[in-house]
A = this chain, B = another copy of it.
Amino acid sequence: MITKNKIAKIKKLHQKKFRDETGCFIVEGTKSVLEVLESELVIKDFLATENWKNRFLTPKKQLQKVEIVSEKELERISTLQTPQEVLIIVEKPRFTISELDNNLPILALDDIRDPGNLGTIIRTADWFGFSQIVCSLRTVEYTNPKAIQASMGSFIRAKIIYADLTEICTQMKGKRKIFGSFLSGTSSNKAKFSSNDMIIIGNESTGISPSLSSLIDESLYIAAAKSSKAESLNAAIATAILLYQFQLSQN
C-alpha cells in the first residue's frame, strides 16, 4: 500500500518545476523500465503491480526494492492514459560538455519545443548512431513524460546536455564541421559529412536562431517535390533525413 504522501510526491514530478527541484523524473512501461534496469541510471523509487514483479523481475534484478501497487493506485500517479503496471523514479544523469567525445558526431537542437518531437528525435538519433545531443536552454526537457514516452528508451543511451548553443558552437568552431538545417543551401544528399560533424536542427516554427546561423559552416536543405505546396517539414522529420544521410555516408 503506497502512502498518500508518496502519491503526492510522485504526481508532482508530472511538472517541470518539481523535476527541476528534485533532479528526478518518471519512466513508465515495461520496455523502458527494463532498459533502465540494465543501464547505469539510478532508480530512486520502483513501483509495480504484483503481477508485473513476478513476470519481469529475475532474482538478480530483485535486488531493486520494489513497492507493490495496485492498478488503481498506478492510475492515480501515472502520466499515461493507460498505465502499464510499472513506474519508476529515476535520477537525472548530469553530463558536461567536457565529457563529449571529440571523435563522435553531435546533434544540436535549437529550441525544440514539442516534447513528442524531442522524444522522436532522441529515438531517431539512437537509430542513426548519434549518442551525443546538445540542446539549447529553451529546448523542452527530455525528462518531460511525453518526451520519455516518444523516445522509447533511447534517452537511456544518449548523453543529453542542455547548454548555451551559441557558446558551444563558438568553442567547437574549426574543430568540427557545423551543419545546419535550412530551407536553402546544399541539398542534403550532396553534403560531405565527416565522422565528427555537428548537425543543428532549428525550432519547429522559427528555424535556427540568427546568433547561431552565423556560426554554421554549411546550410543543408531537404528538397521538396516540384509539385509540393507544403511549407516545411516537422523538425523530427528533418532531423531524421539529415541523420539518415549522415549514416549512409559513414559506410
Q: Which residues of A192-234 are within 8 A (CB) of B?
A: 222-234
B189–A230 CB distance below 8 A: no
A124–B223 CB distance below 8 A: no
The stretch among A7-15, A53-61, A70-78, A237-245 that forms the contact with chain B is: A237-245
A225–B129 CB distance below 8 A: yes
- Tell me whether A231 and B124 are in contact in the complex, defined as CB-CB below 8 angstroms, given that A225-B250, A241-B241 are known contacts: no
In chain B, what residue has the closest Cβ to A128?
A: B225
The stretch among A16-24, A150-158, A167-175 that forms the contact with chain B is: A150-158
B236–A128 CB distance below 8 A: no
A176 CB within 8 Å of chain B: no
Interface of A is mostly: loop
Q: A234 — which chain B residues lie within 8 A by C-beta?
A: 120, 123-124, 150, 236
| 30 A–B contacts from the bound complex (CB under 8 Å) | A116-B116, A120-B234, A120-B236, A123-B230, A123-B233, A124-B233, A124-B234, A126-B229, A128-B224, A128-B225, A128-B228, A129-B227, A150-B234, A152-B231, A153-B230, A154-B230, A157-B229, A157-B230, A189-B248, A222-B244, A223-B247, A223-B248, A223-B251, A224-B247, A225-B247, A234-B236, A236-B236, A236-B237, A240-B240, A244-B244
Binding site for B on A (CB under 8 A): 116, 120, 123-124, 126-129, 131, 150, 152-154, 157, 189, 222-234, 236-237, 240-241, 244, 247-248, 250-251
